[in-house]
């Protein structure tokens, strides 16, 4: 069986590569991602795959290699990125992650609404990579899902 990874999706510049590096325990500069990058534990999907509707099928196909999907929204820049209900297309647990948390608290409500509209029904996790806020909580949630072995949103399966 192929190794399953944590798939990270989100608009360009929302911190996918930076988060992947944090999960994989890597340090160093991040640059714009052009292709899917298979890391030790992660699958980093370039923002352009989400921003171009005709690329969505590639995200969905790649999710076969995923144990979880992290859907990112950047608090610093409110950008409508997900089609309504997009989370429902995945058969693995989907976790909503708000990056840059604390940078623009006034945008938080918008980010949460955005993720709900995209089909996330569990509480979102707030992270900030500059001080590692929320990373432990995120990993605990992922681990909890993995140990229980059940999708967080079983009622969502196949509805998209």
Ligand X SMILES: Nc1nc2c(ncn2[C@@H]2O[C@H](COP(=O)(O)OP(=O)(O)OP(=O)(O)O)[C@@H](O)[C@H]2O)c(=O)[nH]1
Fill in the per-residue mask, 125 to 144: x = in contact with ligand X (CB under 6 A), - = not in contact: --xxxx--------------
In the complex with Mg ion, the residue whose CB is nearer, 44 or 88, is 44
We find the least distance from the C-beta atom of residue 4 to Mg ion, in angstroms, to be: 20
99 binds Mg ion (CB under 5 A): no
Fill in the per-residue mask, 30 to 49: x = in contact with ligand X (CB under 6 A), - = not in contact: x-xx------------xx--
- Kindly tell me which residue out of 5, 17, 81, 114 binds ligand X, with binding defined by CB under 6 A: 17
Q: Considering CB under 6 A, how many residues would be counted as binding ligand X?
A: 20
Residue 91: CB partners within 8 Å, gap ≥ 6?
63, 151, 157, 158
Residue 102 contact partner, candidates Mg ion, ligand X, none, CB within 5 to 8 A by sort of partner: none
Residue 132: CB partners within 8 Å, gap ≥ 6?
22
Question: Tokens standing for 102?
Answer: 């604390």
We find the least distance from the C-beta atom of residue 25 to Mg ion, in angstroms, to be: 17
How big is the CA angle at 14 (ends 88 and 114), to the nearest 5 degrees? 40
Strand ranges across the sheet with 37-38: 37-38, 42-44, 5-9, 66-74, 94-99, 125-126
We find the least distance from the C-beta atom of residue 158 to Mg ion, in angstroms, to be: 29
Query: From CA 45, how far away is CA 51, in angstroms rounded?
Result: 11
Question: Tokens standing for 37?
Answer: 């990058």
In the complex with ligand X, the residue whose CB is nearer, 46 or 119, is 46
101 binds Mg ion (CB under 5 A): no
CA atoms within 13 A on the CB side of 124: 26
Binding site for ligand X (CB under 6 A): 10, 12-18, 30, 32-33, 46-47, 99-100, 103, 127-130
């Amino acid at each position: 069986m192929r190794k399953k990874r944590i798939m990270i999706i989100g608009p360009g510049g929302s911190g996918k590569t930076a988060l992947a590096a944090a999960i994989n325990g890597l340090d160093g500069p991040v640059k714009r991602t052009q292709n899917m990058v298979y890391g030790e534990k992660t699958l980093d999907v370039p923002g352009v795959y989400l921003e171009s509707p005709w690329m969505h099928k590639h995200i969905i196909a790649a999710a076969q290699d995923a144990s979880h999907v992290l859907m990112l929204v950047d608090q610093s820049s409110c950008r409508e990125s997900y089609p309504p209900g997009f989370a429902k297309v995945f058969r693995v647990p989907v976790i909503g992650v708000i990056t840059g948390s604390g940078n623009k608290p006034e945008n938080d409500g918008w980010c949460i609404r955005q993720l709900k509209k995209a089909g996330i029904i569990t509480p979102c996790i707030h992270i900030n990579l500059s001080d590692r806020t929320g990373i432990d909580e995120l990993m605990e949630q992922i681990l909890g899902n993995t140990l229980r072995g059940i999708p967080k949103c079983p009622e969502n399966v196949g509805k998209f």
